[in-house]
Each structure stands twice: as structure tokens, then as C-alpha cells.
Amino acid sequence: MEKTKAPSKIGLFIFDPGGGLARAVDLGTVVQKLIKMKNVSRCEVIADIWSGFLVSVKEDLKAGNLNRLLWVGRFSPYQEKIIKAELSAEGLNPYLHEWCDVEEQGVGKEGPDRAVQTQKVMMLVQMAVGRARLIEALEPVSLPAVDAVLIIGAGVAGLHAASSLVKLGKRVYLVEKESGVGGKVASLHRLYPRICDPRCGLEFEIEKLRGSNKLELHTLSRVKGLDGGPRNFEVKIEKAPRYVSEERCNGCGKCAEVCPVTIPDDSTSHLPQNPHQSGKKAIHSPTPMAFPSAFVVERRYCPPQCRECVKACPTNSVDLEQTPSDMTLRAGAIIATTGWDPYPLSKVEEYGYGLYPNVISNLEAERLLENPPELKEVGFIQCAGSRDEKHLNYCSSVCCSVSLKQALSLKERLPNSRFSIFYQDIRTPGFDEELYQRVKSLDKVIFIRGLPSTVKPDGENGRLKIRAEDTLSGKEVTLSLDLLVLAGGMAPSGGTGEIAELFNLPRNNFGFFESHLQCHPEESQRAGIYVGGACRGPMNVGQSIESTHRAMVEALQFIDGTFLVEPTHPLVDKTKCDKCKRCMEDCPFSAYYFDSEGFPTPDLARCRQCGNCMGTCPLTAISLRHFTIKQTAAQIQAIKVSSLPKEEPVILAFLCKNDAYHAAREAADSDAVIPANVFFIKVPCAGSVNNALLADALSFGIDGILIAGCKDGQCHSVRGNQLVKTRSGDLADKLKKMMIEPERVRFEHLEIRDSGRYVELVNSYMRDLKAMGPNPFKV
């Protein structure tokens, strides 16, 4: 392959602006030696990149004297950008530059032996030349993208994302399993901190969506399958029959007037009479909120042969023979906003939920807020089933504020009632503290630290007797209550489980969608699929809207016409590949698929270019472009161990570019002395290091190999660190059989700020290796 191409002509420039490098290194000798190297056409030391220098490089490029450039020394990102831009105008591909920062390898400090440093610079530049010979011109790959986003779940998070996307002029598919939108928030009565009606805010968003022709809303629909990849997802949905035509129905409600069946409301069974919930007919306006406005029939309640609604409908829109329909929606990105479910409180047996009609959940209590019946004594139990290893092992973070809000609103209506709030800790983060202070200042509201041990009926009068120990005073408290509200927690919704299974999205220990919580909270571990709102973890309404917007912004990149993928993606050499599909197994992002000939091929849209496939391939058939196995092998081969004294160990380190590399760089910039014979290669992920490269290095006589990656659970490519740890462990076992010390291959965790530890590590490794003696392959 190489032979057909023009031979590499490398222009090698050593950048030494302040003369600092010349003080530490004998640059004259370096240049003299380098100019004699194969493929090096021009070699000089430069003090700055301006003053005619770039012009001369341009002339050389034009004349064909140079076709690759190797820049030695430290360039600022700005200078790199300028150089690339200036020379790409002259037709030099930006991937034909090679950068070799010798300072980050620990060279350039005054003090250590000049000859040693000169040798190290020579070695480093030779490594870079080895690589530079093999670099190729690359162009970004452009992929087409479907210009729509699919949002699963039309709760508050989904609605806000949809309305923002529509505002930006993007097409949106909104899929909801209920007959109307609004989700859990629509069933709330008041939102803290402003104690306003959530329907107001929801209506505001719905209004924007109603008029939009960019939105396609699919209610009564469930996701059934996923095909394709990012920028081109194909999502299958199943639409349950509505029995009313969405186009024709004008929502006049005449059908409901004649409907003979009143259906029981789902959650009013435990509540005292509430006028708001009565009288829902089998044909009714969509719930929770009437968007779309077309009515819906709950057929399971219909008496056989009843056709009253059909007869009454003035627009002829009722069709009781409708059947479910399947559809396929095409979208560039997906946002899952599948929300949360209330924790089933009947599992918390000690509080009698489901046994006594006046024990209700906090969600049900919302319905009481507007028009409560006469209540003298109301109790709240916080953390009902939360922060409890038998139930939810986490804090749902909103229930304290919710109960405070409910107490506050109820108190407005029932000024003479007494409220008792049983709690473990009141957790009101941020400004919710104000709410807490407000409730505390109310008359006849008491906070009791301690959870009740028993809830029993108080005789025959229908009241509840509750017993608890106040752990602050150590006294027992016994109360007789009219109503007990259990502050149940937020559990992952059923929809979250369904979607996780269908889309193969990982979930965390608590059942919510897994994401890289600190850095990329909106990312699921599948490219193009984002998660927002309470399906990611307990959060309040405001946070949920924020989080879904973050997901939305990320989703935008997948729907913009065409998309450019960096050309540094993996490439499978089909002449070498024998379809063992280890790459498929080990790809942390499931990016591989079989092409028409049965070869594994990365889906460039899904690929995050971490190189784990390259690391795992037993036949070295996969390479990241611009970071190929051959290039790295050439780099390793250029370390001429024989030219160094035999008793001085040589370490080759592979450093993850996200963490360990930065640690090493910082160490080099500090005063710390890094042993001269440590050479490192920056890799996209520790998991991209192939065992064949390690075998190469050992067989060339390198004494010790250090692979540094992230700690478990911190790896940016999910589990690259674990994969390389196992693989290098296998190699170490083999070394043992070969009667070579297995410690010559080491895997270490290094965090970004571990620069001190890096220095310690290489120094102690140096000592260990010295004690071991030279690598037997050293000649």
C-alpha cells in the first residue's frame, strides 16, 4: 500500500522560542543526526513561527519538497490552530501534522545531565518520525441525519423539551402512553416554591405545541422496537385505539352526556369525598390533560352493543371498531423522559396504607389541597419507604418540600387544624429552606423527630391512633389523627424499565437510567439517546425541566442535516479480520454491526472513537485512523534500547489521554524529576492498547511497560480500563511461563490530579526494574 504512494518527506522543526531547550539539550547534534534520518527532508531549529518561516514552509510544500510536518516542542493550542489553518490553505491536510511535545516527557529542565537529555530528545523525535512516516491525509466523514427528535413521555419534561425544539423549528415526535399529556405533574395541585398551580405552566407549553405543525403527538402509544443508529433511528410504536377520530372530534362533550357508564377514578378510593373527581364517563376528555382535545373511549367499561356516543356525536367522529395500529417513526435522536412512579406504599406495611381509608399518599393528598374536608388533626410521615434498605435505598429529595408545601396549602384552608410532621431529617436543599422556615412559623404545626412505630385505628370513630418516639426529647408521642399523609418516594417508572430493555440502556443500582452523573448527566450510554427529567433520578419539577433541556441541546447535534464525524474512527482491515467478533463483544458503546459480508464494522454515528476495538483485536486488524497499530508499532520500534546502557531500565508508558496523560504532563511541568528513560505514548483510552504492542515492546528489550487508565467506574469509555487490565494480566501470566517477571507489564489507575503519584510510580517502578535486572530480550 505504502509503495504506491509518494515517499514521505518530513519537514522537522524544533520550536525553541526562548532558547530554553537549547540550554538543556545539545540541539546542534540533534539536528545533525536527525537530518540524516530516512524520510527527513528538512530539519531546523526555529525561534518563532512567523517572520517568513511559514512562507518558506509553504514554498517547500508547493514545490513538493515536503509532504508531512513534524513539530517538536511545545506549541500552544492557538499556534497549532494557526499553523494548521495557514498550511491547509496551501493544501496540507491537517492530519499530516505530527506534534511531538518533548517538554511533557520531562525534557528541558536544567539540572539533569545534558547528554542524557539530548539522548532522550533524540529518542522521542525518532519515535515521532517513525509515526510521522506513516500518517495519512484524512477527511471527515459526513453522515446524513434525519431532522426529527423523538421524545418518549409527554410529562412535564417531555413537553418542555418538545416545545423548545418546536420553537427552534425542529420536528418532534412526542410519544405518550396515556390518552393525554401532562404526566404526574398534571395530577399535582400546587408546585413549590411559589405554590402555584402546575396546570398553568403546562397549559403554557401545550399552547405553544397546539399551534405548531412541527409536532407529531402520538398518545395511547407504546414504543415496541428500535432499529438503526444515531441520526437515523427507526422507532416502532404501537398505537392503541382511541375510538374517536382526532381530526374530527371537536371536544363538544355531547357523547359524555349520553354515556351510561361512570367509571371509578383510579386513586380516589382512600380519599374522603372529593367533588373534583366524580363523574368521569367511559367516553371522556383525555387525561391527565386534554391534549389532543379529541375524546377517548375506555372500551373495557362499555356495555355490550351500546352505541349511544356514536349516535350522539354531531361530527360523526366516534368509531368503536378501531383497532390498534403499528407505526415506524424515523428520528435523528431520542430523548427518554419516562419520569417516575410513586413507590407502592402498601409495601410499607407498618403505616397501614391500603388498610385504613384515611391513610393516603402524598400524591393523593394533592387532590385534597383545594377543597379539603373538615380535618382537625393531620399527620405527615416523611421518608415513608425512603432511605430504608428494605424499600428505596435513597432520598427522593423532594418529599420534604412536598409535605411542607402541602401543610402550607392545607393550613390556608384549615387554619385551626393541627399538623404533626414526623421526620428523620428535614431535607430542604437550597431555597426550599425558606419554605421550611415559613411552615415552622405557622401556628399549630409541630415537627416530631422520629418515625411512628405503629398506626392503628383509634377505636370505632374512624380516626387513627399513631404512636412514635420523639427522639429529640426521648418522650413517647401518641396522637389521634383524622388523616395521615405518607410522603412516599420516587421510584423508577415502569416505562423506564421498558425503554431500558428495548433500547439496551444501562440502569443504575436504583433502577433509574445510568448516566455519567457529574460530566454528562444527560447521556445514556448509547449515542444519540439522551435521558432527561425524573427518569434519571429523583428531582423536582424545575430540575426536571432543566435536565431535559440539557438533553435536548445535546440531541440537536444529531438532527442537523449532515453531520461530520472526525476521521479518527476505527477501520477494520478485512484482509486480516477473521470475524471473531471480539470487537463487538468489547465495544463499550455497542457500535459494531456485521456488514453484508459478515465483517464487523463500526457504526460511525455510534462510535466514540475510544479504540477499545483496536486494543482487543487478537489479529491487530482494527486500527483507529491517525492512531493505527502500525504507527504505534513504528513509534515503539524507534526506541533504540540498545543505544542506552544495559543496566538502565527503560519504561514505556501508555497513558490515557483523559486522565493519566494530564497527570504526566503536569508532573513534567513541575519541579519533579522524571527518570530519563521513561517514554510515554498518549492513547485515546487505556483500553486501546493492544497486547501485540506490548509484546513488541518487550521483544525490543523495553524493561517495563506501564499502562495507566482511570479507576473503575470513572472510565470515559465505560470499561476500557477493565478490559486492558484483564488483557495485560493475561500477558503477564504468559511472561511468567516464559520465565520473565510478570511485573514487567503493569496496569495502574491514575487520576487527572495524580501528578505526584505519577512521579512516585515511575520512580518506584524504575527501582523495581533495576532490582529485576535487564529484560532478557535486551541485546
Partner 1 sequence: MPPKVDREKCDGCKAEKESLCEQVCPGDLMHLGEDQKAFCRMPRDCWDCMSCIKACPKGALETRIPYQLGYHVARLIPMMGTNTITWTCIDLNGKVERYQYRNRGSDD
Q: Which of 8, 187, 382, 690 binds partner 1 (CB under 8 A)?
A: 690
- Number of Cβ atoms within 10 Å of the Cβ of 556: 14
- Smallest gap from residue 85 Cβ to partner 1 (A): 32
Min dist CB 758 to partner 1, Å, is 27
| Nearest distance, CB of residue 587 and partner 1, angstroms | 13
| Binding residue (CB under 8 A) for partner 1 from 396, 524, 620, 755 | 620
**Residue 37 in the binding site for partner 1 (CB under 8 A):** no
Stretch that binds partner 1, among 87-95, 357-365, 494-502, 687-695 (CB under 8 A): 687-695
Q: Kindly indicate which of the ranges 244-252, 410-418, 616-624, 714-722 contains the residues binding partner 1, using the contact rule CB under 8 A.
A: 616-624
Smaller CB separation from partner 1, 140 or 742: 742
Complex with partner 1: residue 1 or 200, whichever CB lies closer: 1
CB atoms within 10 A of CB 313: 22
User: Are residues 539 and 526 in contact, defined by beta-carbon separation less than 8 angstroms?
Assistant: no
Residue 585 within binding range of partner 1, rule CB under 8 A: yes
**Positions 740 through 759 that interact with partner 1 (CB under 8 A):** 740
Q: How far is the CB of 409 from partner 1 (least distance, A)?
A: 58
Judging by beta carbons within 10 Å of its beta carbon (0-12, 13-18, 19+), is residue 713 exposed, middle or buried?
exposed
Gap between the Cα atoms of 197 and 185, Å rounded: 10
Pick the binder of partner 1 from 738, 756, 764, 771 (CB under 8 A).
Answer: 738
Q: How far is the CB of 692 from partner 1 (least distance, A)?
A: 5
What would you measure as the largest C-alpha separation in the chain, in angstroms? 104
Exactly one of 465, 550, 581, 640 binds partner 1 (CB under 8 A); that residue is 581
Q: Which amino acid is at 491?
A: A
Residue 161 or 572: the one with the smaller Cβ distance to partner 1 is 572
Q: Which is nearer to partner 1, 238 or 743 (CB)?
A: 743
Of 733, 760, 764, 770, the one binding partner 1 by CB under 8 A: 733
Whose Cβ is closer to partner 1: residue 6's or residue 739's?
A: 739
Alpha-carbon gap, residue 48 to 98, rounded angstroms: 18
Q: Closest separation between CB of residue 761 and partner 1, Å?
A: 25
SS3 516: strand
1 binds partner 1 (CB under 8 A): yes
Task: Kindly identify the residues of this chain, within the stretch 621-650, that bind partner 1 according to CB under 8 A.
Answer: 629-630, 633
User: Which positions from 205 through 244 interact with partner 1, judged by CB under 8 A?
Assistant: none
- Candidate segments 89-97, 241-249, 366-374, 738-746, binder of partner 1 by CB under 8 A: 738-746
The reply to whether 580 sits near partner 1 by the rule CB under 8 A is: yes
> In this complex, which beta carbon is closest to partner 1, that of residue 393 or of residue 642?
642
Long-range CB contacts (within 8 A, 24+) of 345-351: 345/384, 345/385, 345/486, 345/488, 347/385, 347/391, 348/384, 348/385, 348/391, 348/486, 348/488, 350/452, 350/453, 350/454, 350/455, 351/381, 351/384, 351/452, 351/455, 351/484, 351/486
Residue 368 binds partner 1, judged by CB under 8 A:
no
Q: Rank residues 294 and 735 by Cβ distance to partner 1 and give the closer one.
A: 735
406 is a site residue for partner 1 (CB under 8 A): no
Looking at the Cβ atoms of 416 and 575, the one nearer to partner 1 is: 575
CB closer to partner 1, 408 vs 633: 633
Nearer to partner 1, 185 or 731 (CB): 731
Q: Which of 327, 446, 695, 772 binds partner 1 (CB under 8 A)?
A: 695
Of 147, 294, 321, residue with least CA distance to 220: 294
Q: What one-letter code names the amino acid at 281? A: K
Neighbour count for residue 741 (Cβ, 10 Å): 19
Looking at the Cβ atoms of 197 and 696, the one nearer to partner 1 is: 696
Smallest gap from Cβ 558 to partner 1, in A, equals 31
**C-beta of 2 vs 349, nearer to partner 1:** 2
Among 157, 624, 678, 693, binds partner 1 (CB under 8 A): 693
| Least distance between partner 1 and beta carbon 739 (Å) | 5
* Residue in the block written with cell 417516575: 340
Could you tell me the smallest distance in angstroms from the CB atom of residue 98 to partner 1? 19
d(C-alpha 674, C-alpha 107), whole Å: 9
- Nearest CA to 269 out of 359, 198, 188, 339 is that of 359
Q: Is residue 55 involved in binding partner 1 (CB under 8 A)?
A: no
Dist. CA 588–CA 121, nearest whole Å: 37
Per the DSSP assignment, residues forming a β-bridge with 624 are 570, 627
Cell of 509: 443500582
Do 221 and 150 meet the contact criterion of CB atoms below 8 Å apart? no
**706 in contact with partner 1 (CB under 8 A):** no
Min dist CB 731 to partner 1, Å, is 7
Cα–Cα separations (whole angstroms), residue 443 to 401, 417, 419, 440 = 18, 9, 9, 8
Strands of the 377-384 sheet, one edge to the other: 359-361, 483-488, 377-384, 418-423, 445-449
Nearer Cβ to partner 1, position 468 or 633? 633
Give CA–CA dist 115/128, Å, rounded.
Answer: 20
Let me know: does 383 contact 488? Beta carbons within 8 Å: no
Binding map of partner 1 across residues 157-196, x = CB under 8 A, - = no contact: ----------------------------------------
Nearest to partner 1 of 47, 619 (CB atom): 619
Q: For the CA atoms of the chain, what is the radius of gyration?
A: 34
356 binds partner 1 (CB under 8 A): no
Residue number with CB closer to partner 1 (149 or 698):
698
CA distances from 717 to 198, 516, 541 (A): 40, 11, 31
- DSSP 3-state percent helix, strand, coil across the chain (nearest 5): 35, 25, 45
504 touches 543 (CB < 8 A): no
DSSP tally for the chain: helices H, then strands E: 22, 34
Interaction site with partner 1 (CB under 8 A): 1-2, 578, 580-582, 585, 616, 618, 620, 629-630, 633, 690-693, 695-696, 698-700, 730-731, 733-734, 737-740, 776-777
